[in-house]
Structure 1
């Protein structure tokens, strides 16, 4: 007897039933992450559907049912249906015609198994009938899911040659779902690690940060290093970086701080803003990502001495990053509102200091003492101003 998908809140959505009715029950199967995560009892974020219908027919049938669509990837057969409960990607069955490791030329297909055969991992090639919730599994995905094993469909080397990014996807899925190691998959990743050099840096960054965002990626990253994968995508990460990542994950968990992939990327790098700048440029990080990575790379042994002074100078996020990277307690800055110095230059002038550089020097000295005393209230700031002026 075929296994069935357990009933879940999303499987009872009325808008999904309307989608199925518009396309025809025989023309829709739920596929991929929604099926996999439901079987694992995990929350479902995105819902994908596969269909033998051609994209234009999908658009026409959904339009006739009053369902709006966006041709998000129509050249590859993907239409996004805009439903009340959230968007659903509907993709026409496909098989690869040619691949070069970076992109694929596809042809539409009519056979569900052909579509499954072009996917990456067995646990992502599970299809569920929306009416009966019966699961179609051609490549042992259910057994792999039960064993918590991530395995390429068919020949692992061939799957990677089709899309080199699958090496990084393998490790991300292994870190998220894997308990058993598939030797053939790991060997293929080792053998073809060098092919990652041909990928766009943006794609590498996306996968790398997604991996580092997982609860504890450190064992997987260490295995990637042992297989020669990290040397290709992040050659700056040495043994010290792997140890720093492990310590950081422990510090985050101890402090109850949400994981930050950028903070973890910084842990893998030496504490050098110049190196961080190079890595940020190579990975095509955004301006804000680049700034945060560089700030974290500027960490010092003295950061732990005055956490709030650090937060005042660098901002809360960067202070938390640097404290955790030093395995220091960030409690003092968590939820702290960084204050503004309650003193203006005009007030210094009003105390007899001539306008110009002397005002700035006085302001900086008052600020230094204010920070050193733990950011006291305005009354004390005025006293500090008097003290600074009397010292001149």
Structure 2
């Protein structure tokens, strides 16, 4: 099979890079797989039997900037005008412990392909002829959208436990609803090994899985098989239904999916529990804050009703941000009010409260904590009225005894 033409093949500097390697290279991994599927290619990876030092010397001689990003494992990065290209020397595993591998360099293309995870990721292509090399039936699996480990699924997982997460991510992205008879039981049997991995690595794969177009089937399989308890300590009792409804709404309303929004669908709706889980996953402070914002919404401020959207979505957006408000509507709003909520957010920018503490002091209020409390009371009334103009605020101040507002 010949790799069909694709835009990425014409990236500036790519031909010069291949020439510098004297043609002793192949395109590997996602670039080959996604081109065969007609998908956009973002990252280009190249494999070569040349040793890293030789690669660096050749690229430098060709005036191509090269960075030794992972030279201990044989990887350097060529900095090209249209984006970086990773170049990795062919390898074979010497030893593995489920978290990391010790490798030795090789000059055997099939040996290098054999250490990859799935058959569809072991494809490679000649950069001059674009002939595709397939040692493990990846082309057939790609045609059938089958996600299958190379060789023994149990052995591949034992080499790297994170491959359990990768299996379900690739299932969501390419395999849809076709479970492999060997892969799925092997993932289920080894799921407890996920607890041995760094939470950052697990969280990264989880967010990638949730960021696929439709992760519902894959996530449901993980939930039913009890795999999620080895990833996060608890999920919402209605996680499957909430995620299914969310994805359906995103697709129907043409809303771009986000991993954090979908993670909120899975997490317990108790903000404290969700916060603890977010911290345990070592999510960034920005991501933790986003989760907290989306779980801070309560109907009329009633914390006994956690799975509802606030009645005034603009007021919630004002207190948090537009993105958080949109997510809350998509996650928790009743279907009858969802369109109106989204319409009220579209193109709306939260206004600036047209009053300061200094204004109140000028009106005779004594400086101190009372100023902030009074200002908050007036702001709450302003929000409740739907953010009227400054004239309304000034009249409100004139019509009320400020000393009684606290």
TM-score (norm 1): 0.95
Corresponding position of 2:265: 267
Output the aligned Cα RMSD.
1.6
Q: Does 1:32 align with 2:29?
A: yes
Deviation per CA, 1:250-303, whole angstroms, max 9, x where unpaired?
233344332121121111112111111211111111111111112222332344
Q: Does 1:362 align with 2:362?
A: no
| Pairing of 1:104-123 with structure 2 (within 5 A) | 104-123=101-120
What is the aligned counterpart of 2:343 among 331, 341, 347?
Answer: 331
Offset of 1:159 from its aligned partner?
Answer: 0.3
Offset of 1:246 from its aligned partner?
Answer: 1.3
The count of corresponding residues between Structure 1 and Structure 2 is: 389
- Distance in 2 of aligned mates of 1:237 and 1:61: 52
Moved more, 36-45 or 212-221: 212-221
Partners of 2:157 and 2:164 within 8 A in 1: yes
Q: Which runs of 5+ in 2 are unaligned?
A: 301-308
| Pairing of 1:165-314 with structure 2 (within 5 A) | 165-179=162-176, 180-302=178-300, 303-314=309-320
| Pairing of 1:17-166 with structure 2 (within 5 A) | 17-25=15-23, 27-166=24-163
Offset of 1:245 from its aligned partner?
Answer: 1.3
Q: Which runs of 5+ in 1 are unaligned?
A: none
Q: Do the aligned partners of residues 127 and 297 (structure 1) sit closer, same or farther apart at CA in structure 2, a change above 3 Å counting? A: same
Corresponding position of 1:15: 13
Partners of 1:255 and 1:330 within 8 A in 2: no
Deviation per CA, 1:96-154, whole angstroms, max 9, x where unpaired?
01000000000101110000000000000001001100000000000000001111000
Partners of 1:102 and 1:164 within 8 A in 2: yes
Q: Do the aligned partners of residues 239 and 277 (structure 1) sit closer, same or farther apart at CA in structure 2, a change above 3 Å counting? A: closer
TM-score (norm 2): 0.92
Corresponding position of 2:303: none
Moved more, 114-123 or 266-275: 266-275
Secondary structure (helix, strand or coil) at the match of 2:133 reads strand
- Distance in 2 of aligned mates of 1:287 and 1:24: 46
Offset of 1:345 from its aligned partner?
Answer: 2.0
- Distance in 2 of aligned mates of 1:388 and 1:358: 15
Corresponding position of 1:320: 326
Corresponding position of 1:347: 359
Offset of 1:167 from its aligned partner?
Answer: 0.4
